[in-house]
Amino acid sequence: MTPKQTPHVLVIGAGVGGLTTAVLLLHAGYKVTVLEAHIYPGGCAGTFYHQKFRFDVGATLAGGFSPGGPHARLAELLGIEWPVRPVDPAWITYLDDRAIVQWAERERWWEEIHRHFPESAPFWKKQEWLAAQSWNISAKDFPWPPRSLGDTLKVLRALEPATLLAAPYAWRKISDLLPAKASRTLRAFLDAQLLISAQSLAHATNALYGSAALDLPRRGVNHIRGGIGNLAQTLAKWGTDRGLTLLYRQKVERLEVKDGRGVRVYTNKKQVFEADAFVANLTPWGLAVLLGEDAPSSLRREVRTRPPTWGAFTLYLGLDANRLPPLPADHFQVIADPSRPLGEGNSVFISLSPPDDPSRAPQGMRAATLSTHTAIAQWQIEESAYEERRAEYTERMIGAAEIAIPGIRQAIRLALPGTPHTFEFYTHRPLGMVGGFPQTSLWRARGPWTGLANVWLVGDSIFPGQSTAGVTLGAVRVANEVLRWLRQEVTSRSWVVSKSIHSAKAPS
Ligand SMILES: Cc1cc2nc3c(=O)[nH]c(=O)nc-3n(C[C@H](O)[C@H](O)[C@H](O)COP(=O)(O)OP(=O)(O)OC[C@H]3O[C@@H](n4cnc5c(N)ncnc54)[C@H](O)[C@@H]3O)c2cc1C
């Protein structure tokens, strides 16, 4: 028996969720290996290089860096320096001939509310108060959803009188907070904000979650120097400088299970890695594929019965900066026709690389990422219809972008469309499902459990879901769960851990 040997944790995937868990476990003294299928880290929050442009894959807005935010707290704990700078305004929403400016500065935002939605000040007051309670509790590493008695006790200890006053809103939706006379413009504005931050609309989004999501601009949005992928690169460098093994081009194809526990993984490079604990930076569907016949019945049921999540259609544009008009911000949101459903090119988010970041584009050019929600079923079609649809969506996206940036069409020097198939190919998320689950109910939130004692999910499929800040909060929870499990195993069943460590191959 060699109880002093360090347990080995294997993380599948170097998205922000996987890497954050990895560096936290490394910091706690464990041996950690990350296997990434792609040639760079970041997944949906990565940045790819093409013809001298550095395009953000999906995520472009980075929150969570203000004091108390998840990325800020991680930096404090580990001594990380993020390559970030705050931006204000966060973004501008174009809707019904209006430009609604999402100021980070609270006073300016209130002026904007009075200008555009004078009838709804009580709604925004309530939203602000609920958001404060939600952010306050999230800063306490709130283990939600709770699973054990210990989790429940932690949840109870985190509650304060103000949190208790907010508790009834855990059963309500954002639209329940709206006055009956709320304008169509306000409703469309809220739907558009919630779709990008909670994956659902006001009538369905939980009031506490949605209030925090609507507050994102006020909590600070940042530019990441070099592109959003530099977040994952920063985590990767911090880890590998301190002994993390991070291997690229290693796609895990199978996770083998014995007696209800993961024991080893097999990769496309015909390599085998054994470990004591496994963290899967995957969707439940992605994990089910790796487990195959070994998937526990609960996971099989989940992937059979859960409705699919959203997909994304993206358009990456290389723009001639000299052909663009002067721009009041770098991020824009356009709702082309508020009477039609959002997504599918009718609501588009547009982000341009900052003019002062020369690493993102050749001189005189800017790199832009445009995205819209799309139902993945739209793309399960014949190849000829697929190409036609891709061209049609490209046109819709450019048409919407012209509302915010007149003349953008003439500035285009390079255009690369991305569909759910593209996301599936590059991020290995089955069917290109991205963004995690709609945040409609706190009571049905998904935790990190998989039905296997030593395998956890991390990433935007677990609460609190999507965004780099959201998956960082989830990763803190998962790292704590793994630590607790390893400590229990080492003390109460040290023979199990030491035996598996003994046989674990140290990856080179
Ligand atoms: C179009 C779009 C726009 C978005 N905009 C924003 C935004 O502005 N701001 C924001 O904060 N968030 C945004 N998001 C959401 C955010 O990008 C994600 O929620 C977050 O990045 C997901 O992180 P994750 O940890 O779940 O991992 P993922 O990003 O899914 O990464 C998982 C990693 O695992 C790897 N992997 C998968 N399978 C395997 C395997 N079998 N073996 C080895 N490696 C594997 C993948 O290659 C990938 O690198 C956006 C998302 C999209 C799609």
**Judgement on whether residues 106 and 137 belong to the same structural domain of the protein:** yes
Residue 147 belongs to a domain? yes
Beta-bridged to residue 373, according to DSSP, are 312
Structural domain containing residue 121: 89-219
**Judgement on whether residues 268 and 238 belong to the same structural domain of the protein:** yes
**Judgement on whether residues 329 and 301 belong to the same structural domain of the protein:** no
Residue 297 is which amino acid?
A: S
> Cα–Cα distance between 301 and 282 in angstroms, integer?
17
Q: Is 283 in the pocket of ligand 1 (CB under 6 A)?
A: no
Question: Tokens 């998962």 — which residue?
Answer: 478
Residue 508 belongs to a domain? no
> Cα–Cα distance between 350 and 328 in angstroms, integer?
13
**Judgement on whether residues 366 and 442 belong to the same structural domain of the protein:** no
Contact (Cβ atoms closer than 8 angstroms) between residue 365 and residue 53: yes
Of 189, 219, 249, the one marking the end of a domain is: 219
Q: Which of the residues in the chain have pLDDT under 70? A: 1-4, 490-508
Q: Is 459 in the pocket of ligand 1 (CB under 6 A)?
A: yes
To 10 degrees, the CA torsion angle through 183, 185, 188, 190?
-80
Of 192, 219, 246, the one marking the end of a domain is: 219
Residue 205 belongs to a domain? yes
Beta-bridged to residue 370, according to DSSP, are 315, 350
Contact (Cβ atoms closer than 8 angstroms) between residue 335 and residue 329: no
> Cα–Cα distance between 23 and 26 in angstroms, integer?
5
Q: Is 252 in the pocket of ligand 1 (CB under 6 A)?
A: yes
Pairing of strands 91-95, 47-50: unpaired
Residue 484 is which amino acid?
A: R
CA triple 243-249-251, angle to 5 deg: 100
Helix 468-492 vs helix 16-27: crossing angle, to nearest 10: 40
pLDDT at 378: 95
Mutating to test ligand 1, I would choose from 222, 314, 421, 467 the residue with most ligand atoms within 8 A of its C-beta, which is 467
* Strand ranges in 382-425 using DSSP code E only, listed in sequence order: 412-418
Alpha carbon 291 to chain centroid, angstroms:
24
Residue 208 belongs to a domain? yes
Q: Is 309 in the pocket of ligand 1 (CB under 6 A)?
A: no
**Judgement on whether residues 231 and 285 belong to the same structural domain of the protein:** yes
Residue 354 belongs to a domain? yes
**Judgement on whether residues 376 and 342 belong to the same structural domain of the protein:** yes
* Strand ranges in 411-470 using DSSP code E only, listed in sequence order: 412-418, 455-457
> Cα–Cα distance between 191 and 104 in angstroms, integer?
20
pLDDT at 491: 53
pTM of the shown model = 0.95
> Residues 153-202: pLDDT tens digits?
988 888 888 888 999 999 999 999 999 889 999 999 999 999 999 999 99
- Tell me how many domains the chain contains: 3
457-to-55, 239, 266, 277, 492 alpha-carbon distances in Å: 28, 20, 18, 12, 24
Of all protein residues, the one whose alpha carbon is nearest to atom 37 of ligand 1 is: 428
Alpha carbon 102 to chain centroid, angstroms:
20
**Judgement on whether residues 393 and 337 belong to the same structural domain of the protein:** yes
For the beta sheet containing 98-102, the strands, ordered from the edge strand earlier in sequence to the opposite edge, are 98-102, 91-95, 331-335, 347-352, 365-374, 311-320, 412-418
Ligand 1 mean position, distance from CA 375 (Å): 17
Q: Is 201 in the pocket of ligand 1 (CB under 6 A)?
A: no
CATH number for 243: 3.50.50.60
CATH number for 407: 3.30.519
The percentage of residues in the chain with a pLDDT greater than 90, rounded to a whole number, is 88
**Judgement on whether residues 334 and 302 belong to the same structural domain of the protein:** no
**Judgement on whether residues 318 and 425 belong to the same structural domain of the protein:** yes
**Judgement on whether residues 129 and 33 belong to the same structural domain of the protein:** no
> Residues 17-26: pLDDT tens digits?
999 999 999 9
**Judgement on whether residues 159 and 174 belong to the same structural domain of the protein:** yes
Nearest Cα to 483, choosing from 15, 68, 27? 27
Residue 1 belongs to a domain? no
Residue 72 belongs to a domain? yes
Residue 498 belongs to a domain? yes
Pairing of strands 261-267, 252-258: antiparallel
CA triple 12-17-22, angle to 5 deg: 60
Contacts of 55 by beta carbon, 8 Å cutoff, 6+ apart: 47, 48, 227, 316, 367, 369, 416
pLDDT at 142: 77
Q: Is 448 in the pocket of ligand 1 (CB under 6 A)?
A: no
Q: Which two tokens stand for residue 428?
A: 């290995």
pLDDT at 1: 34
**Judgement on whether residues 93 and 210 belong to the same structural domain of the protein:** yes
Question: Tokens 């320096």 — which residue?
Answer: 81
Q: Is 223 in the pocket of ligand 1 (CB under 6 A)?
A: no
> Cα–Cα distance between 164 and 130 in angstroms, integer?
11
Question: Tokens 């039905």 — which residue?
Answer: 451
> Cα–Cα distance between 4 and 408 in angstroms, integer?
62
Contact (Cβ atoms closer than 8 angstroms) between residue 353 and residue 361: yes
Contacts of 169 by beta carbon, 8 Å cutoff, 6+ apart: 130, 207, 208, 211
Mutating to test ligand 1, I would choose from 20, 39, 44, 349 the residue with most ligand atoms within 8 A of its C-beta, which is 44
Of all protein residues, the one whose alpha carbon is nearest to atom 5 of ligand 1 is: 59
> Cα–Cα distance between 55 and 42 in angstroms, integer?
12
pLDDT at 400: 98
Q: Which two tokens stand for residue 36?
A: 């990434």
Q: Is 286 in the pocket of ligand 1 (CB under 6 A)?
A: yes
Of 416, 432, 448, the one marking the end of a domain is: 432
